[in-house]
Amino acid sequence: MSRIKFRTLFKNIIKWLAIAFVSLVLIVFLVFGYLWLFPDGFTARHNEGPKVLTELLHMAEQSKPFNPDPYIASTYRPENPLYQPVLAIQRHRWDIAEKLLEPLAEKGNADAMFWLAEITYGSPYRSSKAAHLYQKSAELGNPYAALRLDVDNSDCQRFMSGYCKEKWGKLGRKLLKERADKGDVKAGYYLLRDKLLTTEEEHKKLESLVTANAKNHYYRPLADLLKRYLKGYYFDRKEPLSSENKRLVIQLMKLAVNNNYVPLMSEIIFDDDISVTSEYMEKMINKRNELDISVTVCREFYPVGEDKPRINVIKLAGCAIASDQEVNRYHDFNMVKSNLKYNDYPPLSEAELSQAKHIADNIIKNMTPVIYIDEMNSVNL
């Protein structure tokens, strides 16, 4: 082939590729434009807002802060052998968790195998061990372990690509259905969420499962749905959320918060678009630190600066000391000291340090740590 013919062929290929790309973009634009103008039944129902969650709104009206059972929304309670190791995972202390999980896994505990795999698969040198733990857990009936090895699971493809098989995804969904058929509404929710939802009836089914899970004090489905109301669902948001719908969203958030659900406490604390009374905010922050100590939350509530009261420094230091003691490290308190030095603020005096330690002792004495991660919503690995 001559050089001239080759150049002509090359130009034609580039031309057709450009046409194909522009055509694809145009098709995508038209599809999303159609969905914007003519939403499907699922989106149309979603656009009605949180008023459709009638039973939960009634429960929210009766709800008061805070449920006297601190563990009401916790994934595991202290008497469960998985409580301490999963709490360690939540606190990013995988070294502690591994030592506690290995004996349980060796005894055939399928859930322990799952959690041990969760803190193992991120290492390229241990992916084989993690995959075999997931496989064994799945074979013992854990659907969430099977789904981790699904061929469509991006984490599996990234870290355990040689073990990702379609059969594991099928097994996971089969196990979820078996649990759902026996009344496990958590399994039912994740089985439904696995599908492409397009109809009004599917949204009503979602509402039913969100409600049933919330009545069981599993609030993650509710939190997910409320986030979609607040932020929009794909391309359905045509106008800002109305003040009435925002009021209903906050009311439903407080239902979960009043039952000691930590993630939505954080959502309210850090999202400027969500407003509650200062009295409720203070109570909620104190309760949150009883359930899961957080220096980030303390920093939000006790800002430090030249125009801020000195007691804020002491309270923040106390929070940091308590956090470090709970997870057996010294990172948070050192960060407080470093920030004081960096901003040329006076360091803690001996008297202030003593006061901070006293605050930390009181925090720890009143703590009832809860677990809010679970099989489908694990801590960031």
Q: Looking at the DSSP assignment, which residues form a beta bridge with residue 254?
A: none
Residue type at 110? A
List the Cα angle 63/67/73 in 5-degree steps. Answer: 105
pLDDT at 155: 92
pTM value is: 0.86
What are residue 165's phi and psi, to 5 degrees?
-135, 150
pLDDT at 22: 58
- Say how far apart CA 62 and CA 43 lie, in whole Å: 30
Closest by alpha carbon to 369, among 77, 65, 68?
77
SS3 297: helix
Structure tokens at 218: 């599993």
Q: For CA atoms 43, 48, 49, 51, give the dihedral sign.
A: negative
What are the 10-residue block averages of pLDDT along the chain, 381 residues in total? 59 65 54 50 94 98 97 99 97 94 98 97 83 98 98 94 96 98 98 94 98 99 96 61 94 98 95 92 93 92 90 96 86 93 94 97 95 87 40
SS3 374: strand
Looking at the chain, list the stretches that DSSP marks H as alpha helix, in order from N- to C-terminal side.
Answer: 3-37, 41-46, 54-62, 83-90, 94-106, 110-118, 127-139, 143-148, 154-159, 166-181, 185-193, 200-215, 220-231, 243-258, 262-270, 278-291, 295-301, 311-327, 331-342, 350-365
- Say how far apart CA 375 and CA 106 lie, in whole Å: 20
Contacts for 319 with CB less than 8 Å, ≥ 6 apart: 289, 293, 295, 298, 302, 332, 359, 360, 363
pLDDT at 24: 60
Structure tokens at 348: 């803690």
